[in-house]
Amino acid sequence: MKRSLFALMAVLTVLSMVLAACAPAATQAPASAATQPPAATAVTNPTATIAPPKSADAVKIAFWHSMAGDIGGKAIPTMANEFNASQDKCYVEPIYQGSYDDSLNKLKAGLQSKDTPAVVQLYDIGTRLMVDLKVITPVQDFIDKEGYDLSDLEPNVLAYYTVDGKINSMPFNTSTPMLYYNKDLFKAAGLDPEKPPRTFVEFEEAARALTTKEGDKTTVYGGAFAIYGWFFEQFLAVSGGYYVNNNNGRDGYATEATFNSPEGVAIFDWWKRMVDEGILANYGRKTVDTRNAFIAGQTAMFIDSTAVLRGVMDSVAGKFEVGTAYLPRPNEAAYETAGTIIGGGSLWIINNRPQEEQDCAWEFIKFQASPAQQSYWQTMSGYFPIRKAAYDEQLTKDWVAKYPQFQTAIDQLHIAPNNRVTQGGLIGVFPTARQTIETAIEELLAGKGTSQEILDKAAEAVTQSLSEYYVSMGIQP
């Protein structure tokens, strides 16, 4: 009796465990990020709460966002509260949905069950997918309807989110990558801390000079790059290379990956050469691991988003002097023709919500784009303002005075020419493509082939994903 009871119990346990695992129809998404939004500081206690609506008749809208830490816990609720207090027709409720990937997954599930927000914040690389899914109302419709003035907005930022001649989503949090370096280590290595490297070759030479060893052990690495597909995209852009064909998919649907060009190969060769020489450290895919090594003084230079500046400054806390510089280019001439791509996220209006909710969504989007809000947002987060008038706000002036390193971010945005290269690739399978590149970099560093071979293979995989995407979406590129 005992025996059969036990067997029954075991069988039931087994079945329930096995079957529960095989139920991907469930929409629950795990807690952490696969693709890291460049959110800045370490998670601290979220403090701000959302005040109740002023009027019972206010139209309630949900705003899904992916900002963790202080930015999501304090800045976003504060902005929502100010919006709610500024008028009594609309009431916005921000809801943190995890990483951009998590949020996108919940949105995909929500679109089928009609459980959608009026406004959702998504990453830059989700742009083509969102447009192709036909689930959004382009903000261009609202802009045209009321003649909203765009002249103050940063043209490079708007250009990124312009697809098929329309601005589809409103930029919200924008950033680019830049070079962070340790000025004290520069001085110790006999380098001029006010002259950071500008080109690939200069970077390599500086990294060599900065690397220090005790016997066999490297105590300080000259530099470190996290294995993050976004960095490759940026290096490619500053080299003047296209990620995909049809001018980065901006003059018609992209059908082929083109990052296996000489520009791409040169980046891979450079990266690999420095790792092999032991002057560039590899701390894996997580950008935070590389950042921590820099903060601990174990690497002298690293690449990261402008959005982490405040987090880096707070963590370094005066232990050494932090410098920032432009992302290195392959040569000086590239500064004229190429530049970094806008990264970050934008706000989308979902079209299956009632018209009044969409109208409120637009009101909220306009509110967050106002100079005062953009200035507050920038000083809280380290993303840069999407409009020029924000720089006249006292808050931003004070902030730039306190963190002069931020000027690099602003200048880098303004020196970048606005062309198809700096607008960046536009494809519906960007998250997959980014991951393919990350695996390719791992293969490169592990010596699984030449730069050309590895990039060719990666490009073939992305091209294949693109064609599968068009088939499943019923699009004829």
Q: Under the rule (CB under 8 A), what is the footprint of other proteins?
A: 2-3, 6-7, 10-11, 13-26, 29-32, 34, 101, 105, 108-109, 111-112, 129, 133, 227, 281-286, 289, 292-293, 296, 298-299, 428-429, 431-432, 435, 438-439, 442-443, 446, 448, 465, 468-469, 471-474
Identify which of residues 194 and 216 has a Cβ nearer to other proteins in the complex: 216
Burial of residue 218 (CB within 10 Å: 0-12, 13-18, 19+) is middle
Identify which of residues 101 and 357 has a Cβ nearer to other proteins in the complex: 101
Residues 374, 385 contacting (CB under 8 angstroms): yes
**Minimum distance from CB of 229 to other proteins (Å)?**
12
Strands (E), 250-292: 280-281
Query: Going by C-beta distance under 8 Å and a sequence separation of 6 or more, which residues neighbour residue 280?
Result: 207, 221, 222, 223, 224, 225, 271, 274
- How far apart are the C-alpha atoms of 186 and 297, rounded to whole Å? 12
Give the 3-state secondary structure of residue 67: coil
**Minimum distance from CB of 430 to other proteins (Å)?**
11
Burial of residue 388 (CB within 10 Å: 0-12, 13-18, 19+) is middle
- How far apart are the C-alpha atoms of 390 and 406, rounded to whole Å? 14
| Residue 322 vs residues 179, 185, 195, 294, 328: alpha-carbon distances, Å | 10, 10, 13, 10, 17
Q: Which two tokens stand for residue 331?
A: 């040569």
**Minimum distance from CB of 216 to other proteins (Å)?**
8
**Minimum distance from CB of 441 to other proteins (Å)?**
9
Helix%, strand%, coil% for the chain, nearest 5: 50, 15, 35
Identify which of residues 34 and 85 has a Cβ nearer to other proteins in the complex: 34
**Minimum distance from CB of 340 to other proteins (Å)?**
25
Identify which of residues 282 and 373 has a Cβ nearer to other proteins in the complex: 282
Identify which of residues 30 and 404 has a Cβ nearer to other proteins in the complex: 30
**Minimum distance from CB of 282 to other proteins (Å)?**
6
Alpha helices (runs of H) in 338-417, residue ranges in sequence order: 355-368, 371-381, 394-402, 406-415
Identify which of residues 364 and 470 has a Cβ nearer to other proteins in the complex: 470
**Minimum distance from CB of 281 to other proteins (Å)?**
8
Identify which of residues 76 and 429 has a Cβ nearer to other proteins in the complex: 429
Identify which of residues 165 and 474 has a Cβ nearer to other proteins in the complex: 474
| Residue 199 vs residues 205, 210, 328, 410: alpha-carbon distances, Å | 10, 16, 5, 19
**Minimum distance from CB of 68 to other proteins (Å)?**
13
Identify which of residues 33 and 48 has a Cβ nearer to other proteins in the complex: 33
**Minimum distance from CB of 305 to other proteins (Å)?**
18
Alpha helices (runs of H) in 149-197, residue ranges in sequence order: 155-160, 183-188
Residues 344, 123 contacting (CB under 8 angstroms): yes
Query: Going by C-beta distance under 8 Å and a sequence separation of 6 or more, which residues neighbour residue 245?
Result: 254, 255, 256, 257, 258
